[in-house]
Amino acid sequence: MEQVWSGQPNGALVSETAGLLPGKALDVGCGEGADAVWLAEHGWDVTALDVSQAALARAARHAEHARVPVRWVHAGLVEASLPPGTFDLVSAQYPALLRTEDHDAEAALLAAVAPGGTLLVVHHANIDEEQLRARGIEPEDYVSRSDVAALLDDTWRIEVNETRPRHVTAGAGSHHTHDVILRARRLN
């Protein structure tokens, strides 16, 4: 099957991790693994998680080609039962996490971050909701930036919460022109 994504790391990941010391990273919904591979190439100890076995197989090939180690986990974020407070960086780039009444996915994202660690959640801005609904996708069913932000209490410092232009000219998703970026630091 053809590769769907560009193979390039997401721009927001590259820019938002520029000031961070590499440690343990979790890439949630890693897809074909471009971000996971890029993080590993830049000194991070990477765990990458996705529900799609096909995406993970491609991601593993990508990592093999780049000769970097990445721990691939075939599971949903909530079902993975990750050890809490472990990751210096938890990155979710364009996540398609189902929203639940108990906010399970958002809670799992926050719980995975180590004290002093960074949570980075990036969504597409200006989504054409009608077009999604025409394709049978209900945007309200998915965790949004504000769902995550709503759980950030005073044990977190929000460092970035803004919409920025995105520069992607090729591959699936290249029609999205702006990102919504939420970056927060876990204080304790």
Ligand X SMILES: C[S@@+](CC[C@H](N)C(=O)[O-])C[C@H]1O[C@@H](n2cnc3c(N)ncnc32)[C@H](O)[C@@H]1O
Binding site for ligand X (CB under 6 A): 5, 10, 28-31, 49-52, 55, 76-77, 93-97
Least CB distance to ligand X at residue 134 (A)? 18
**Using CA atoms in the order 124, 29, 162, 184, what is the torsion angle rounded to 10 degrees?**
170
Q: Which is nearer to ligand X, 74 or 133 (CB)?
A: 74
Helix (H) or strand (E) holding 114: strand 113-124
Task: Give me the least distance between CB of 159 and ligand X, in Å please.
Answer: 20
CB of 56 to ligand X, least distance (A): 9
The span from the CA of 37 to the CA of 48, in Å, is: 9
Nearer to ligand X, 22 or 76 (CB): 76
Closer to ligand X by CB, 77 or 181: give it.
77
What stretches of the chain show up as alpha helix (H) in DSSP? 11-16, 34-41, 53-66, 104-112, 129-134, 145-149
CB of 148 to ligand X, least distance (A): 14
**Cα separations (Å) of 102 from 121, 133, 148, 182?**
19, 24, 12, 21
